[in-house]
Amino acid sequence: MLFVALGAISQMQAQSTTAYPSMAPLDRYLMPDRNAEIALARSAAPDSIARDARVQVLGLHGYETAVEGKNGFVCVVERGWMAPFDNPEFWNPKIRGPLCFNPPAARSILPMTYKRTEMVLAGQSKAQIMDGIATFAKKELPPLEPGAFTYMLSKEAYLTDRGDHNIAHLMFYTPVMDGAVWGADLPKSPVMLNPQFTPEGIDVFMVLTGMWSDGTLAPVNN
């Protein structure tokens, strides 16, 4: 789940002064070129992984399968509403967060993307979405599977209005734990704790890679 790298990026860059108090018209979140969205989703991971992944694209009623996969990975482009609920860019229509979920994450994390998007497209308020996702997490979300992680290595991602808008990283999902177990948030450590899924009881450890999905070097602002 996104990026929610937004939460971690805010630790590294100055706060945005732009506010997005409410949802923009839906067409501003959609990508009219379906092939462009497929390509953007696949850019989250190296081609050796993404080319055989299932690809989901956002439609008027939620995510739809655009390409069937065969390796268990699922690539999608998430929007700003996958950010922490208190993030000022929650409704930012420019956000495009390509991710490729590995099979355990596709089964136990990706359902939150589908559910939250479903509620957004149904016109629910942020407060209603917060309540709904908390209930979903307790009653319907599959248990977190060991080894769940996502690739977020796209050069073309737009994750925030701040700084250079992007960062190459992996996200590992764990039960809630002390970040010291991973050496997170220590000077020069490439690991940051992004406690994004509070209602769900899941922590996200974000690991900077210094490399984009095409193998070229990426900046590491840490």
pLDDT at 63 over 80: yes
pLDDT at 16: 47
Kindly report, residue by residue over 92-125, the tens digit of the pLDDT: 999 999 999 999 999 999 999 999 999 999 999 9
Domain positions in the chain are: 4-208
Residue type for 191, please?
V
pLDDT at 3 over 50: no
pTM exceeds 0.95, yes or no? no
Contact between residue 105 and residue 150 where contact means Cβ atoms under 8 Å apart: yes
Q: What is the DSSP letter of 211?
A: B
pLDDT at 221: 61
Please report which confidence band the pLDDT of residue 198 belongs to, taking 50, 70 and 90 as the band edges.
low
Report the distance separating Cα 21 and Cα 182, nearest Å.
35
Kindly report, residue by residue over 30-53, the tens digit of the pLDDT: 999 999 999 999 999 999 999 999
Tokens of 199: 């209602």
